Amino acid sequence: MILLDGRKVASERNLQLKDKIAQAVAVHGREPGLAIIMIGDNPASLSYVKGKGKASALVGIKHELHQLPDTVTEDEVIALIEKLNQDPTVDGMILQLPIPDHLDDAKLIDLIAREKDADGFHVVNQGYLYQKKPTTKPATPKGIMTLLSAYDINPKGMNAVIVGRSNIVGFPIARLLMDAGATITICHRQTKDMAYHTKQADLLVVSAGRARLVGADMVKPGAIVVDVGVNRVDDKLVGDVDFEAVKEVASHLTPVPKGVGPMTINALLENTYELYMEHLVANKV
Ligand SMILES: NC(=O)c1ccc[n+]([C@@H]2O[C@H](COP(=O)([O-])OP(=O)(O)OC[C@H]3O[C@@H](n4cnc5c(N)ncnc54)[C@H](OP(=O)(O)O)[C@@H]3O)[C@@H](O)[C@H]2O)c1
């Protein structure tokens, strides 16, 4: 079994990005800026946000964390988003999910200027994606495509099965894999006999948020398996795939952690850099 080592690929790409950013800063005199809005103090979100901040610093992206209390009102969050939309030093902005129930995540994300939507979650950017037009791609699906390509895996002609249909992972990875020439099946909680579908997969992507949902009996021998899930079990992080069992049947498999997670962060940084370059061109700096 070949381990799809997201940490290794992401750190190589981050070093390349660091060079590109240093070159752009030398010419244009301004660093790319990423603003992260976090609401509440969910420990998992805090650790993701810290990881994003650390990786930003490493590649030369100036990041700022706006941590708001979970009692914040919708108007206060909107005021912050509008302020950051106007700030010329902010190239990318993300709203760390999940946010408290009294706030509407889709409404708030759509208020982020689409030109600063570093996560690629804005409804207009998603529309462009689904119409196969150039746009900022959602970070996790983009990171998965980059990881596959780093291992010379070409999805063309493959049966790709995706477990999960979220707007941030399952649905957009289906679109990207279809664009890359795969034939797509999407499974979800209403799917009858999910194992029947997953066993057809040459490429299986699992993003359900259910610890060890996919066992070896659900995987075709030789399949490529990408595990997006991150679940805390007995104080340990585990994926949606039973790694120890599936490694015996899969040809390629991502670990959790250090698989898709670092690739997602790398894609976020690359998105921020691309938005920064667009802003430099637009402002002719
Ligand atoms: N590593 C990373 O960078 C990264 C990035 C994003 C997310 N994640 C992780 O990935 C996981 C999924 O995230 P998400 O945002 O895609 O999740 P989500 O919005 O909760 O969606 C989960 C999807 O999985 C489906 N599902 C849940 N249980 C299922 C089951 N037993 N059988 C079949 N389908 C099932 C749901 O079906 P229905 O639509 O029918 O409800 C839904 O479509 C989470 O653990 C999250 O923490 C990791």
Please write the tens of the pLDDT for every residue from 44-87: 899 999 999 999 999 999 999 999 999 999 999 999 999 999 99
Nearest to 208 by CA among 184, 237, 183, 239: 239
Q: What pLDDT shows up at residue 284? A: 62
CATH number at residue 209: 3.40.50.720
In a domain, 123, yes or no: no
Same domain, 109 and 196: no
In a domain, 187, yes or no: yes
CATH number at residue 34: 3.40.50.10860
* Catalytic residue list contains 52: yes
User: Residue 133: is its pLDDT beyond 60?
Assistant: yes
% residues pLDDT > 70 (the chain): 99
* Beta-ladder partners of 67: 38
In a domain, 207, yes or no: yes
Q: Three-state SS for 242?
A: coil
Same domain, 202 and 99: no
Q: Which domain range does residue 215 map to?
A: 139-260
Spell out a b/e string for 30-60, using b for 16 or more CB atoms within 10 Å of the CB, else e: bbbbbbbbbbbebeebeebbeebbebbeebb
Same domain, 76 and 175: no
Same domain, 67 and 148: no
Same domain, 254 and 157: yes
Side chain identity, residue 72: V
Spell out a b/e string for 234-257, using b for 16 or more CB atoms within 10 Å of the CB, else e: eeeebbbbbbebbbebbebbbbbe
User: Residue 120: is its pLDDT beyond 90?
Assistant: yes
In a domain, 126, yes or no: no
Same domain, 84 and 158: no
> Phi and psi (nearest 5°) for 221?
-55, 135
Nearest to 81 by CA among 109, 56, 52, 49: 109
Question: Pick the catalytic residue: 119, 202, 227, 242?
Answer: 119
User: Any residues with Cβ below 6 Å from ligand 1, and which?
Assistant: 140, 163-166, 168-170, 187-191, 194, 207-210, 213, 228-231, 260-261, 264
Same domain, 143 and 211: yes
Is the Cα dihedral 275, 277, 278, 282 positive or negative? positive
In a domain, 25, yes or no: no
Is the Cα dihedral 197, 202, 205, 206 positive or negative? positive
Boundary-marking domain end, from 115, 147, 182: 115
Mutation to probe ligand 1, out of 228, 233, 243, 256 (largest number of atoms < 8 A from CB): 228
Boundary-marking domain end, from 82, 115, 148: 115
* Catalytic residue list contains 86: no
Mean pLDDT of 162-189: 98
Side chain identity, residue 62: K
Cβ atoms of 49 and 96 closer than 8 Å: yes
Same domain, 149 and 85: no
Mean pLDDT of 261-280: 97
Question: Pick the catalytic residue: 96, 117, 126, 240?
Answer: 96
pLDDT digits (tens, 9 = 90+) for 214-258: 999 999 999 999 999 999 999 899 999 999 999 999 999 999 999
Mean pLDDT of 11-20: 98
Closest Cα to atom 47, ligand 1: which residue? 230
User: Residue 194: is its pLDDT beyond 90?
Assistant: yes
Same domain, 96 and 194: no
pLDDT digits (tens, 9 = 90+) for 16-44: 999 999 999 999 999 999 999 999 999 88
Mean pLDDT over all residues of the chain?
97
Same domain, 155 and 248: yes
Structural domain total, the chain:
2
Same domain, 48 and 99: yes
Cβ atoms of 30 and 284 closer than 8 Å: no
Centre of ligand 1 from the C-alpha of residue 95, in Å = 18
Band of pLDDT at residue 283, cut at 50, 70 and 90: confident
Closest Cα to atom 21, ligand 1: which residue? 166
Same domain, 202 and 157: yes
Closest Cα to atom 26, ligand 1: which residue? 208
User: Rounded to whole angstroms, how far apart are CA atoms 24 and 17?
Assistant: 11
| Ligand 1: nearest atom to the Cα of 256 | 1
Q: What pLDDT shows up at residue 104? A: 98
In a domain, 181, yes or no: yes
| Ligand 1: nearest atom to the Cα of 263 | 3
In a domain, 74, yes or no: yes
* Catalytic residue list contains 236: no
Q: DSSP strand E in 29-165: where?
A: 33-39, 62-68, 92-95, 159-163
Cβ atoms of 200 and 163 closer than 8 Å: no
